[in-house]
Amino acid sequence: MSIPPSIIARYKKVASATVYSAVRRLGYEPCFMREVFSFTPGITLVGSAKTLRFVPPRQDIMEQTHIGENSPEYIAMGSCEPGDVLVIDGLGKKYAAVGGDVKLLQLKMQGAAGLVTDASIRDLNIVADYGLAVFAGGRTPMGGAGEIDPFEANVTIQCGGVAVRPGDLVMADDDGVVIVPECVIEEVIDWVEEHEEVEEWIKTLIEKENVAPGKYYPPTDETVRRYYENNEK
């Protein structure tokens, strides 16, 4: 099931840090990808996940999966709808690329919003010119041959130490990548919006009273109550 554009728009207005707090609060931890960084700074990436799993190369497997346009990587990219995010389990191989300008052209043609992987990306300047947001473990001139090989599309994977299922929401900015399980997408954004409003009010209060942040932060139930009382006036 696709994520409504109205939900995507709401997530684009908030910070990954607050989204992380909300997902963690609901018990879905780990949800923040380790050692995955933005290579297109200043871009907030939000979209529904499509997934691709790489495995170490093995000749008999490769004979079954290296089948041209029907290979798993092209099935995964071809399944992306406009605004989707392809999340790739690259086994954390920081020196091996999951793709470059030729292969990833398909994501541009599908209208995907971006790419997330715990492996590396190459031809980054060209890929960024495609309009794709890129979050990866690194960048490299090296392809993946001999190190990692695409195996399976749109199954549950791990990326950066986080479980990702097709349909989960990917939320990424310069701070990093957070995965929101599909079953709590609306609950998370409701909490995040309220929490960020309360935090903005708290910052104003701290400056006004010239006090240490610890007086009001992290917000207690009493602080939240005061926030609502103040906004009802």
d(CA 148, CA 121): 13
Parent domain of 203: 188-232
Per-residue model confidence (pLDDT) at position 5 = 96
Say yes or no: 59 and 113 in one domain. Answer: yes
Say yes or no: 117 and 63 in one domain. Answer: yes
Per-residue model confidence (pLDDT) at position 146 = 87
Say yes or no: 95 and 199 in one domain. Answer: no
Per-residue model confidence (pLDDT) at position 125 = 94
Number of domains in the chain: 2
d(CA 172, CA 8): 12
Say yes or no: 161 and 124 in one domain. Answer: yes
Q: How far is CA 138 from CA 19, 78, 159, 208, in A?
A: 24, 24, 14, 43
Say yes or no: 145 and 206 in one domain. Answer: no
The pairing of strands 149-153 and 138-139 is unpaired
Say yes or no: 124 and 58 in one domain. Answer: yes
d(CA 117, CA 75): 17
Our CA angle for 48, 73, 41, nearest 5°, is: 50
148 contacts 54 by C-beta, under 8 angstroms:
yes
Say yes or no: 97 and 198 in one domain. Answer: no
d(CA 207, CA 192): 23
Q: pLDDT digit of tens for each residue in the chain (233 aa)?
A: 689 999 999 999 999 999 999 999 999 999 999 999 999 999 999 999 999 999 999 999 999 999 999 999 999 999 999 999 999 999 999 999 999 999 999 999 999 999 999 999 999 999 999 999 999 999 999 987 789 999 999 999 999 999 999 999 999 999 999 999 999 999 999 999 999 999 999 999 999 999 999 999 999 888 888 898 888 75
Say yes or no: 93 and 206 in one domain. Answer: no
Say yes or no: 161 and 196 in one domain. Answer: no
Say yes or no: 72 and 178 in one domain. Answer: yes
Cα of first residue to Cα of last residue in the chain, in angstroms, is: 41
Per-residue model confidence (pLDDT) at position 233 = 57
pTM of this structure: 0.95
Per-residue model confidence (pLDDT) at position 232 = 75
Six token digits for residue 63: 């004979």
Helix runs in the chain, H state only = 5-11, 16-25, 59-65, 72-78, 105-110, 124-129, 185-209, 221-232
Say yes or no: 139 and 203 in one domain. Answer: no
Residue 105, domain CATH? 3.50.30.40
Phi/psi at 202 (5° precision): -60, -45
Say yes or no: 200 and 106 in one domain. Answer: no
